Chain A
Amino acid sequence: MVVSGDAYLHPQLPEIWFGIVLATLTIYVALDGFDFGIGMWYATRDEEHDREQFLAAFGPVWDANEVWLVAFGTTLLGAFPSAYANLLSRHYLLAIAAVMALLLRGVAPELREQREDAAWRRTCDRLFVAGSTLSPLLLGTLVGSWTFGTGTLSLPAVLTGVVVIALSLTSGAAYLAAKTDGSLRWELARYGQLATGAYLASVVVLLAVVLALDPRGIASELLSIVPLSIVVASVGLAIVGVALARSGRHRSWFASTLGLGGLLGSLVAVVLYPSVYPATGLTVAAASVSPVALNLLTVLGVPVLLLVLGYFVYLYSVFGGTVDAEGYGE
């Protein structure tokens, strides 16, 4: 095996893996985020036909999207075991509640189609909407508590959950607009513009609260050039997204919402670094596994991760185009 035990393959390998860990989390939030968005906008549909159409858009991709969460958790464990252990054991009820919400979100639509009777379907629909709303809220709160080092029920943590909900609403509307047609598409585009505004507003409120409370003295860090340019880029991209939504270029609009997710993820990375778990003061360098383990993770894991990105391109190209209530058609 071409893995040496003496030194990291690259002197900054722990930093690179810190980036990979946050990239997997970001991809998860961006991709499953639009699934959550579909689940939340689902609550606005009364027509059976529209609901079937939403579920058809969600069907072939949600499970693969959700695997990014497992990739995030296991990569964090593999590269920074003590950060994984602290993050989850210190947020016991929150983490368990989040996985239970995800469970509802995954199972409810599966069960829904089993029976025709209205009461059964109404119950399943409610569980689906509840799971799709609670999942981003709880996962976002977990990430907020981790990033700002404030503990679960702090204002910055809960606001991070709200930010993730707003982002999910934005990308969900964009995905649905790209997948539907007719008046439904334009209705979703309108919802999506409102959600974009809500997203920017929630980010601004979150940042204002963090600046005011100044947990672990990060206010000055936030006011430096990199985080500020990320915020400015987010505003710019959001405006571009709204313009694309208005001009009917909904696929490009959806792509821009993935970009918003990427910017949010990089903001989290910038705020965290050089710490990997601020509440314990654990730094990336100190928490990283040994050179042998990290080199192995690199040699085996990175090529596979690139291959996985290839699978996703394939999956989304097979299921490109629009859906109707019957699915993707021929």
Chain B
Amino acid sequence: MTDPTPALTAIEAAAALPSFLSPELASRMQFGWTISVHILFASLSIGLAPFIVYFTWKDVRTGAEQYARLREFWVGIFAVGFVMGTVTGIPMSFQFGTNFPRFAEVSGELIGGPLAFEAKMAFFLEAVFLGVLLFGRERVSDRQYVLSSVLVGVGAWLSGFWILVVNAWMQTPRGYEMVQRNGQQVAQLTDPAAAFLNPRFPWMYVHMMNAAVIAVSLAVAGVAAFFLWRQRDSAAWGTALKLAVAILLVSAPFQAVHGDAYARHVEDTQPQKFAAMEAHYDTGQADLHLIAIPKEPDALTDPRAENLWTVSVPGVGSYLASGGDFDAEILGLNEYEENPPVAIVFWAFRFMVGLGFLFIGLALWGGLLAVRGRLTDSDRYLQAMMLASPLGFAAMLTGWYVTEIGRQPWVVQGVLRTEDAVSTSLGSAEATATLLGFVVLYCLLLAAFLYVCKLLVEAELARVEGREGDGAADGSVWSRVPILGSVAGGERE
């Protein structure tokens, strides 16, 4: 005799397993994961756009073959990245509703407008003119073609503008009042200028756009270094490396100086986040921990002055945060009832800053080599740049973890807590299932993207090694780009 209800008990057992995450945690992980993947592609578009405009302009203007090739190669990467950005971006625009409907209702008036402007002003511009840039070389005039590349770039940068208007409002909400509507407390827009040109916005916009430029410059430099490492006399990739290093020489030091002032602004406007960034528990004078190394494993999960070896400068935390006062009182985490996960914020911040200084070092090293005319000769430098090529994206992501996890437990600082924003009708099983689905799907997507990049690089490598400089126009990388291949006519050779 068997158990009459084996199926039922199995379901009950599964439901009792701790393997289902709470709807809140699953929703937060899902949003965090999907935005982390999406922002890689978004920043690729933002950072690559100026390169593409430059290569397109030089190509049309000088007709020099090296610019045509650089443009073709990077437009190929841009195109695949843009498709990935589109398909990963659509879930973003719906998850406010599926997982955080209270957030959509409470702050819809404040965030809905800018998100709608993002779609209408930016996303359309980018998508429509990318179609022309990819498929229209022979169908529009040179002038329209260069203009298309500019409009794609403008679209990418405007997109960042409106998304950061939304995020800046979530950090330092302004220009609203809480009112009762349909039986619920919601934020009503009272002053659009205060809400959308909010004090956080300029800090964020400059920091993020520059981060995207740094990340892409490092990637361009790494790819160029790879080709040069295989073929030293490639004119096109020598030009690309020089350009990327020149951009890094400006953007990397600027990011450090700007980031320092930005941190001061965060201390002013979000003292709790600032305290988490410094693991500063007791209100009072704050030291600056230049370098922090865990003394014991606990420090990884609960960093505090006593379990860290630090290189610290007494009072300089206060000095920097206050803009000149060594004894300035900095609010400590003990003042708050609930804090963000300090360890993540503390270590993510250090990871980002450490990488930032590494980038400055790499830029200066490259600058020095360039002055001596040996930029493309140094094996060590080329290898270092290849290794560093993904690190700009890593720094950008960890910077966002500081910003977003550092704002917890709030989704809108001081207005709405994350736990109150989550859907009440969402079950653990559903939320966990879709989280798993997104994890699997986006891992496949990332793998597919890297695979396509590998194929594009291999195709270019064949040209760099085989036919460098002989002006051959065939075998273009277009032929390896999906869809484009069939359209651009290189496919059936």
Contacts and interface: CB of A to CB of B under 8 A. Distances in A.
Interface stretch (B56-64, B133-141, B293-301, B354-362): B133-141
Contact of A5 (B82, B190, B492): B190
- Which of B94, B110, B489 has most chain A Cβ within 10 Å? B94
B419 to A, nearest CB: 15
B90 to A, nearest CB: 5
Interface stretch (B9-17, B227-235, B283-291, B477-485): B477-485
B388 interface: no
Interface in B103-118: 104-105, 107-113, 115-118
Contacts of A99: 90-91, 94
Chain B interface size, under 10 / 10 to 19 / 20 to 34 / 35 or more: 35 or more
A81 B100 CA distance: 12
B195 to A, nearest CB: 9
A88 interface: yes
Interface stretch (B318-326, B333-341, B447-455): B447-455
A88 B91 CA distance: 11
B105 A85 contact: yes
Binding site of A, secondary structure by majority: helix, strand, loop or mixed? helix
A126 interface: no
A318 B128 CA distance: 11
A67 interface: yes
B32 interface: no
B282 interface: no
B101 A88 contact: yes
B130 interface: yes
A74 B124 CA distance: 13
Nearest to B485: A113
B269 interface: no
A84 B452 contact: no
Contacts of B481: 113
Interface stretch (B239-247, B406-414, B422-430): B422-430
A59 interface: yes
A64 B108 contact: no
A289 B104 contact: no
B87 A107 contact: yes
Interface string A293-318: 10011001100110010011011001
Interface string A216-258: 0000000000000000000000000000000000000000000
A73 B91 CA distance: 11
A81 B108 contact: yes
B482 A109 contact: yes
Given A111-B482, A114-B455, A96 B108 contact: no
Contacts, number: 258
Contact of B423 (A89, A315, A325): A89
Contacts of B124: 64, 67, 71, 308, 311
A66 B126 CA distance: 12
A60 B97 CA distance: 30
B189 interface: yes
Nearest to B423: A89
B83 A85 contact: no
A305 B186 CA distance: 28
Contact of B84 (A67, A107, A293, A327): A107
B22 interface: no
B86 A92 contact: no
A279 interface: no
A305 B120 contact: yes
Which 10 A-B pairs rank lowest in CB-CB distance, beginning with the nearest?
A81-B108, A88-B97, A78-B112, A327-B487, A85-B101, A89-B101, A77-B112, A110-B482, A113-B482, A78-B116
14 contacts: A63-B127, A64-B127, A67-B119, A78-B113, A86-B101, A88-B94, A92-B425, A113-B483, A282-B182, A292-B189, A296-B113, A301-B116, A301-B117, A314-B128
Given A75-B112, A114-B480, 7 more contacts: A56-B486, A78-B108, A88-B98, A96-B94, A99-B94, A293-B188, A326-B487
